């Protein structure tokens, strides 16, 4: 059965308030910007977002944050977003910060049906011991802090228990998809997209190229369609940005 939809609103409008959503992307690369725009237009509130970062001011998840639709963020990086800083320190946004590799594995584990795993990342820090500020009270005091986590010793080394992450929905961007949702990601846009797709119970993909059945070489596929419930075609040039443009002075012959 084809999973291709004519318009993203057909599924995005079913996302309720308080939903948990995994969102792919890394910095400005591989952002499902079309789906985020539809989510803003839909207006669902108090969303609980899981993503590597919360976009930047005026872009990606940063726009959803500015619209006041995010209540909680689970992420590994939150720099370059002044609106995030204002809302977090002002007590308007709860935030759980996780080491990047741990976040990636928690998403993968959730999608693979693994409830929890042990990792050495975070031992000896507030990640394991608790006390990481999740929410401030608006006056500079910590209102909610992270609890301590279970620690076990294996072969003389301490490890902390981390739980797999699953979400109600996932929004991701792919380079290619066939009508069954088998996905191919392009270069660095692969980033957190396949992991978020795995973690979502209902995964929506915006794809730059939607192919007929049989047009994808099975060896090309990065993520099988079993993890995907809906596919929307978007223009290949839609909202592609560069985090930082770096140039050098041209060499001039004497």
pLDDT one-digit tens code per residue, 126-177:
999 999 999 999 898 999 999 999 999 999 999 999 999 999 999 999 999 9
Check residue 247 and give its pLDDT.
80
Check residue 7 and give its pLDDT.
92
Check residue 253 and give its pLDDT.
67
Note whether 181 and 27 are within 8 A (CB).
no
pTM over the 0.75 mark: yes
Centre a 10 Å sphere on the Cβ of residue 247 and count the other Cβ atoms it contains.
5
Nearest to 69 by CA among 35, 95, 92, 98: 92
Q: What is the CATH number of domain 1-115+164-240?
A: 3.40.1080.10
Check residue 86 and give its pLDDT.
95
Check residue 251 and give its pLDDT.
74
Q: List strand residue ranges (DSSP E) for the chain, in order.
A: 4-5, 20-23, 47-50, 70-75, 94-97, 116-119, 133-136, 142-145, 151-154, 157-163, 167-178, 183-184, 200-211, 230-233
Check residue 72 and give its pLDDT.
98
CA distance 112 to 96: 22
Which regions in the chain score pLDDT beneath 50?
A: none
Check residue 59 and give its pLDDT.
87
Check residue 236 and give its pLDDT.
73
Note whether 15 and 203 are within 8 A (CB).
no
Domain ranges of the chain: 1-115+164-240
């Amino acid at each position: 059965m084809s999973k291709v939809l004519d318009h993203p609103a057909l599924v995005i409008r079913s996302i309720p308030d308080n939903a948990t959503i995994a969102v792919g992307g890394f910095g400005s690369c591989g952002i499902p910007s079309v789906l985020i725009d539809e989510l803003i237009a839909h207006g669902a509130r108090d969303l609980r977002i899981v993503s590597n970062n919360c976009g930047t001011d005026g872009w990606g998840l940063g726009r959803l944050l500015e619209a006041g639709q995010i209540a909680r963020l689970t992420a590994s990086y939150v720099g370059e977003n002044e609106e995030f800083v204002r809302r977090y320190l002002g007590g308007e946004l709860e935030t759980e910060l996780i080491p990047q590799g741990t976040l990636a594995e928690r998403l993968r584990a959730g999608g693979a049906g693994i409830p929890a795993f042990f990792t050495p990342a975070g031992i000896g820090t507030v990640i394991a011991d608790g006390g990481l500020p999740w929410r401030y009270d608006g006056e500079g005091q910590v209102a909610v802090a992270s609890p301590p986590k279970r620690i076990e010793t294996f072969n003389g080394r301490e490890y902390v228990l981390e739980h797999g992450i699953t979400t109600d929905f996932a929004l991701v961007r792919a380079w290619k998809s066939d009508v069954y949702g088998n996905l191919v990601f392009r270069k660095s846009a692969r980033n957190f997209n396949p992991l978020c797709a795995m973690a979502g119970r209902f995964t929506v993909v915006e794809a730059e190229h939607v192919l007929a059945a049989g047009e994808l070489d099975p060896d090309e596929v990065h993520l099988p369609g079993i993890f995907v419930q809906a596919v929307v075609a978007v223009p290949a040039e839609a909202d592609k940005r560069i985090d930082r443009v770096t140039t050098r002075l041209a060499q001039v012959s004497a």
